[in-house]
């Protein structure tokens, strides 16, 4: 394709076209590939007459020419259409793109000097009105954001506190899950005695140890998860009742402890006889 187009330096001030290098490249590709004369083409099964500033293309063709992803080309063209840069008629076989205000900025050679003086501050296809509209939208968004913040008051702080609380709860649930999945380690009588001494508990450590050791460290029908917490539960019940059912005083559990010692001694005696 031969020929040339006009490009004004104010094009660099347009925030839509100069959003990034891909937007600028797509815009220049559209300008350079738009028709500059009237010609007839087939589109959507019918004959159409293209006027200067129009072209039939597709996002795949643009992406292949500029080495840009097709989905990004689609987003760029949609932005140009929303901001009043172009108009599109799309189909599954291509799209007809019309560059708005083409005639105002791409005049013929003989009228070039006159029209360049009239549009000295305008970029190709970008009018001052378009830039004003963009600034107005930005101003409206800022004002709306300020009004929303005033209406909300301290709501953002409450949302932040709620988010922090939810994070802490999630962390607690995760810690509890890890604790529940951790394997239970059976303590020794020495460890139980040390724990009772360090925490100043009144629970008899020997009774506690013999009681749960005879039950294979089960609490009801479930395997014990923490013998320290279970011992503290005994201690709390001792405080609620003067005579705790778990202390050394009650006859029932004292008798169980004595019976356990007796069975252990008897087992040792039997083993010693067999050894002889």
Residue whose structure tokens are 């239970």: 184
Most confident listed range (74-78, 117-121, 126-130): 74-78
Amino acid 1: pLDDT: 61
Tokens at 182, concatenated? 């951790």
**So what's the pLDDT on residue 120?**
52
- State the average pLDDT over residues 257-267: 76
Q: Which pLDDT belongs to residue 259?
A: 77
* Low-confidence winner among 3-17, 103-117, 157-171, 230-244 (lowest mean pLDDT): 103-117
Question: Considering only 97-106, 142-151, 173-182, 256-265, which range has the smallest mean pLDDT?
Answer: 173-182
pLDDT at site 226 = 84
**How far is 174 from 187, CA to CA, in rounded Å?**
25
Instruction: Give the C-alpha separation, 182 to 199, whole Å.
Output: 24
pLDDT surpasses 80 at 89 = yes
Residue 112 confidence (pLDDT) above 80: no
Reply yes or no on whether the pLDDT at 233 is more than 60: yes
Assess whether pLDDT exceeds 80 at residue 240.
no
Residue 187 CA to residue 12 CA, distance in Å, equals 76
Element (H, E) at 191: helix 189-199
pLDDT at 250: 46
User: Quick check: 242 pLDDT over 70?
Assistant: no
Q: Which residue has the tokens 């347009």?
A: 14
Q: Which of 15-19, 170-174, 178-182 bottoms out in mean pLDDT, i.e. has the lowest? A: 178-182
What is the C-alpha to C-alpha distance for residues 263 and 267, in angstroms, rounded to an integer?
6
Cβ count near 97 (within 10 Å): 24
Residue 253 or residue 64, greater confidence: 64
**What is the overall mean pLDDT for the chain?**
77
Q: Which of 93-97, 248-252, 267-271 has the lowest mean pLDDT?
A: 248-252
| 46, 40 contact by CB (below 8 A) | no
Query: What percent of the chain stands above pLDDT 70?
Result: 74
**Span 250-260, average pLDDT:** 63
Comparing 129-138, 191-200, 228-237, the range with the smallest average pLDDT is 129-138
């Amino acid at each position: 394709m031969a020929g040339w187009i006009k490009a004004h330096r104010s094009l660099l001030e347009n925030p839509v076209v100069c959003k990034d290098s891909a937007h600028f490249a797509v815009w220049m590709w559209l300008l350079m590939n738009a028709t500059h004369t009237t010609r007839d083409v087939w589109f959507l099964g019918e004959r159409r007459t293209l006027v200067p500033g129009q072209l039939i293309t597709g996002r795949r063709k643009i992406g292949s020419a500029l080495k840009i992803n097709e989905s990004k080309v689609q987003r760029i063209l949609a932005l140009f259409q929303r901001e009043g840069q172009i108009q599109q008629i799309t189909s599954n076989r291509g799209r007809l793109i019309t560059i708005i205000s083409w005639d105002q900025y791409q005049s013929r050679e003989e009228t070039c000097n006159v029209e360049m003086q009239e549009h000295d501050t305008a970029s190709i296809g970008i009018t001052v009105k378009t830039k004003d509209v963009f600034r107005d939208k930005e101003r409206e968004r800022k004002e709306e954001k300020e009004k929303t913040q005033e209406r909300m008051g301290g709501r953002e702080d409450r949302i932040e506190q709620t988010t922090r609380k939810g994070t802490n709860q999630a962390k607690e649930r995760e810690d509890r899950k890890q604790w529940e999945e951790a394997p239970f380690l059976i303590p020794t009588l020495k460890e139980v005695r040390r724990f009772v001494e360090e925490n100043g508990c009144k629970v008899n450590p020997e009774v506690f140890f013999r009681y749960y050791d005879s039950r294979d460290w089960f609490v009801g029908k479930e395997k014990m998860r923490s013998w320290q917490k279970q011992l503290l539960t005994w201690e709390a019940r001792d405080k609620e009742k003067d005579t705790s059912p778990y202390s050394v005083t009650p006859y029932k559990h004292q008798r169980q402890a004595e019976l356990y010692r007796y069975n252990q001694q008897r087992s040792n005696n039997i083993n010693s006889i067999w050894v002889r």
